[in-house]
Amino acid sequence: MLGHFKRKKKELPAINTSSLPDIVFMLLFFFMVATRLRETEVKVKQSLPKATEQEKLEKKDLLSYIFIGSPASEFQDEFGSAPRLQLNDRIATVDEVQAFVASEKAKMPPELANKIIIAIKCDKDADLGILSDVKTELRKANALKITYITLRGLEN
């Protein structure tokens, strides 16, 4: 007579969701802080050249971008159709490159200012004279680390 005990079915306890809003807001805050949005509007055409040898840069916080190309169609009334230079959000002249490098270095911590890398995004159809002039101005500004942004693979 001892063997028959009635077993009660155990119900699973309800999941406590009181901390769920806190977790969601922490994740939201993390992604808001960690995500870097595009800071500049590219006003020049960018048909990048292709290359077989590429290297991924690890420290993108050291990069400052210079765009070279013909102004996009919506900006041609204002700037014409000749290849132009864009520094951050504005169309500039080659003479302004040194001041641009100085201002970009000033935005960086002092120990990283000399490690600045200038990333040049030059349209493949742009006149190479403007690129040569930009490189000369970069040398004068002591910005000697330059990288060219390209697409992967060569055209056949």
pLDDT tens-digit series, residues 63-115: 889 999 988 888 888 888 788 899 988 889 999 999 999 999 999 998 988 89
Q: In what order do the strands lie in the sheet with 90-92?
A: 90-92, 84-87, 63-69, 117-122, 146-148
pLDDT tens-digit series, residues 9-64: 777 888 888 888 999 999 999 888 887 766 667 778 777 888 888 888 777 788 88
Where do the domains of the chain lie, and which CATH numbers do they carry? 50-151 (3.30.420.270)
Residues 121, 149 contacting (CB under 8 angstroms): yes
Report the DSSP pairing between strands 146-148 and 84-87: unpaired
